Amino acid sequence: MRVILIGPPGVGKGTQAALLGGRKGVPSLSSGEIFRREIEAQTDLGRMAQRYISHGELVPNGVTIEMMAKRLRDPEIRRSGFILDGFPRTVRQADSLQEILADLGLPLQRVYSLYAPDELIVSRLSGRMGCTKCGAIYHSLSKPSTREGYCDVCNSPIVVRTDDQPDTIRERLRIFREETAPVIEFYEELGLTRVIDASRDAEEVYKDILSELE
């Protein structure tokens, strides 16, 4: 399996990546996970990314692409395939990814474009909380932690992220449409994009993706 999940924040990319990865034994790769991995290992790329993140700035395309290329070269990924969640975010990243995968002999199978109405996304994200250490995601209504305020995975505090406030969410949706939506068109031209209604229950969305892929 070699697929990309693309869509606005809060549409459920992470949930679907976890379902597909967990049930099919395929590594799920998100840019956030790869950033954390490199930062914790104190690699040159990790230290470079940390400088931007600590100042609230976006990690430049070149650094993000090199981190992703490094992970994709891992023998585990070459053997098992991958599910990309949150990458690529720009057409430049998508173009670079095509070159990397061509060099590795790992062509993409599908790009799933997940969509849902803005107000549903705002509702979903407004109650979302994240672990301050491992990054596990919870929701005050649909997925609360067992012990209020603490992560079930590593027992660290969980908090509502500052970028999950309603006004901030709407701005993130605007930025997505401006910067990332063209990536969907990029893959449409390659005949790889399939559109999935992600406003439904996660299991229904999962079954649609799996049915189309198989």
Bridge partners for 28 per DSSP? 83
User: Is 172 part of the annotated catalytic residue set?
Assistant: yes
Secondary-structure percent of the chain, ordered helix, strand, coil, rounded to 5: 55, 15, 30
Which residue has 């790769």 as its token pair?
A: 29
Residue 35 Cα distances to 29, 47, 97, 157, angstroms: 11, 10, 17, 20
User: Is 194 part of the annotated catalytic residue set?
Assistant: no
- Of 50, 69, 73, nearest to 60 by C-alpha is 50
User: Is 161 part of the annotated catalytic residue set?
Assistant: yes
- Of 35, 33, 10, 11, nearest to 21 by C-alpha is 33
User: Is 13 part of the annotated catalytic residue set?
Assistant: yes
HEC assignment per residue over 163-194: HHCHHHHHHHHHHHHHHHHHHHHHHHHCCCEE
User: Is 89 part of the annotated catalytic residue set?
Assistant: yes
Query: What's the DSSP call for residue 157?
Result: B
Among 133, 161, 170, 194, the active-site one is 161
Among 13, 170, 177, 200, the active-site one is 13
Among 128, 143, 170, 177, the active-site one is 128
Among 172, 174, 194, 200, the active-site one is 172
Active site residues: 13, 89, 128, 161, 172
